Amino acid sequence: MFRIPRFLLSLIGLFLFNLHADGQLIDWQTRFEKSNFLETPRYDETVRYCKQLAYNSDFIHYSSFGTSPQGRELPLLILSKDKLFTPEQARASQKAVILIQAAIHAGEPDGKDAGLMLFRDLFIDGQSPEILEHVVILFIPIFNVDGHEIWSQYSRINQNGPVESGWRATAQNLNLNRDYMKADAPEMRAWLNLFHTWLPDFFVDCHTTDGADYQYEITYGMETHGTMDAALNQWQVEEFIPSMTKYMDRQQMPIFPYIQFRRWHDPRSGLRSGVASPITSTGYVALMNRPALLIETHMLKPYKNRVFSTYQMLKFTISYVNENYLELQSHIARAEKNTASKSFRRKSFPLKYAISPKDSTMIEFKGIEYEILTSEITGHPWFKYGHEKANFTLPFFNVSEPEISVKLPEAYFLPREWIDVIEVLDAHHIQYSYLEETINQDYESYEFPEVEWGKRPFEGRIQLSLKQVKPIEDIRVLQQGTLIIPIEQPRAKLIAYLLEPQSESSFIAWGFFNSIFEQKEYAETYVIEKMAKDLLRDKPKVKEEFERKMKEEPEFAQNHYAITNWLYQHTPYYDTRINKYPVCKLSNLKKPEYKIKPISF
């Protein structure tokens, strides 16, 4: 009997699998591959390719996790060899969940093209099936979908390809990678819901750099400073990063930490790296006790090289998490338990870090030879990079020290009228309860005697700088329905960064509470005149301060309105809530008696 060789059967099977229902052969090449590695697909083509992947594999599910302001779906691929396409199924299986996102800056599409090829190779061509045994993968090929379609060959002046690409910001001109805390963009609120519903064990964000020239085609960042749990930090530093470095060396794609030079563009000034802000993806994920890998391909390298180096980094990450998923999940579970414990709030909690100017390590850096010239146009120095490789031995400043720390309370109280703040708390899936009755008690809070607003908007908001923060104890009437936000929950770090005013990513810093600085009632001069005489006669300290102010501040002394208003501020009629933080804190020693109405997500 004639028998068909096994290899021929495999080829026939592969051919039949790659046929459309109408008999047409499926074209699995991506736009990137078809264009000789020079182009990236538009939004519609990307979505079609994602749906084609899902249609032709039982192990890929296409979904949307939200809608952009211009009405585009936010595409999501869920990839699982065991068809675990919901967070409940993934958690029940105890497999590790990896979230990979690309094109948060839509002019940086390297991760999109790398991901489309990688998941085709893994799930359609069946390459490396062993690395998919213990993982569920979420892939966002385009996060900034509206910015992606602000399409031009002039999107990125500093970047070497692709030929055309999208824009950095959204259609609302918001940089999504500065929006993780304030969550103004609809896209970000959708992402937060996705993240907190799935709670991935590992996160990857794909970018392309701006900055100086050097030999590395790709650099990486991981949060190994700041508030990251010690055991998770050790896992990253001693296990994941060394393994990733060795793997990429074997691919002849050497990597280096994502850094900045101490003087812009000047490698010889030394390197620095600090704690990532939680307004960015990796800083935010670190607050949630998850490792986050930032991939930064080098803007001046050919697009082909950048995409394939991203491909290898993604493949390694999936493989490593797959192999070490139990250890990773164990570290995360312990970190979450610690964050939600009573002992966590007994420690001083850092809100702001600074890179130490004294602590550095000498390292080898693969750079490019350059010279510093004086611009004929501006008259200032500029850096001209050559083509010769140059290896430098440079000081690396990567030790961060707490600059501002606070003692966390048992809970925060937020009056129910701050609706826009509550909406953001909900977006972050922060747990809270409600007061079922009105209570009146002395609480800890803050007063802000001196503040300063930015002169220009930043990410759609006028930011506030607190020049002076004064802790106070104040009698507060907390109305029924006031939110009680306990610290004893896994999102404790996130809560502190949002509600402690000295945090640079707090609600008050972003301008959510700007109205508390506005005076709404004023005194007419003919009313305050007699009242002021009584005030200065009956209150010697007020009189002393007034006379000093008139003597030492000429502008004040010549401003009739300012004098009148100052005197009004010292009467019982003045609004005592001005400049006071409406959020108050419950310490361990001052727990009141109250009933609460719980809420859960």
pLDDT per position as a tens digit, 411-458: 999 999 999 999 999 999 999 999 999 999 889 999 999 999 999 999
Pair (552, 434) in one structural domain: no
Phi, psi of 446 (to 5 degrees): -135, 150
Q: Residue 373 has which token pair?
A: 């010239």
DSSP character for 592? P
The reply to whether 211 and 187 lie within a common domain is yes
Within-domain flag for 14:
no
Within this chain, do residues 267 and 132 fall inside the same structural domain, yes or no? yes
Residue 23 domain-assigned?
no
Residue 8 has pLDDT above 50, yes or no: no
Structure tokens at 99: 């979230």
* Whether 565 and 492 share a structural domain: no
H helical segments located in 439-578: 492-499, 525-538, 540-552, 554-557, 560-569
The first and second tokens of residue 243, run together, are 């393994």
* Residues 138/80, Cβ–Cβ less than 8 Å: no
Strands (E), 166-225: 202-208, 218-222
Question: Do residues 563 and 584 both lie within one domain?
Answer: no
**Long-range contacts formed by 125-132: CB under 8 A, 24+ apart:** 125/28, 128/315, 128/319, 129/81, 130/322, 131/315, 131/318, 131/319, 131/322, 131/323, 132/79, 132/80, 132/81, 132/318, 132/322
The partner residues of 236 in beta bridges, in order of sequence, read none
Same domain, 584 and 490: yes
d(CA 509, CA 279): 12
Q: Does 416 lie in the same domain as 316?
A: no
Position 85 in a domain: yes
User: How many angstroms separate the CA atoms of 406 and 468, rounded?
Assistant: 15
215: CATH: 3.40.630.10
* Side chain identity, residue 279: I
Whether 111 and 251 map to the same domain: the answer is yes
Report whether pLDDT(13) > 70. Answer: no
Angle formed by the axes of helices 540-552 and 525-538, nearest 10°: 120
CB atoms within 10 A of CB 594: 17
Given a cut of 60, whether residue 354 has pLDDT beyond it is yes
Write down the pLDDT at residue 564: 92
Tell me the pLDDT band of 12, cut-offs 50, 70 and 90. very low
Same domain, 222 and 206: yes
Q: What is the pTM of this model?
A: 0.93
pLDDT digits (tens, 9 = 90+) for 542-592: 999 999 999 999 999 999 999 999 999 999 999 999 999 999 998 765 555
When divided into structural domains, the chain yields a total of: 4
For the four alpha carbons of 116, 121, 122 and 124, in that order, the dihedral sign comes to positive
Domain assignment of residue 549, given as a range:
525-569
49-97 tens-digit pLDDT: 999 999 999 999 999 999 999 999 999 999 999 999 999 999 999 999 9
Per-residue pLDDT at 24: 65
Structure tokens at 189: 């609120």
Residue 5: what pLDDT? Answer: 45
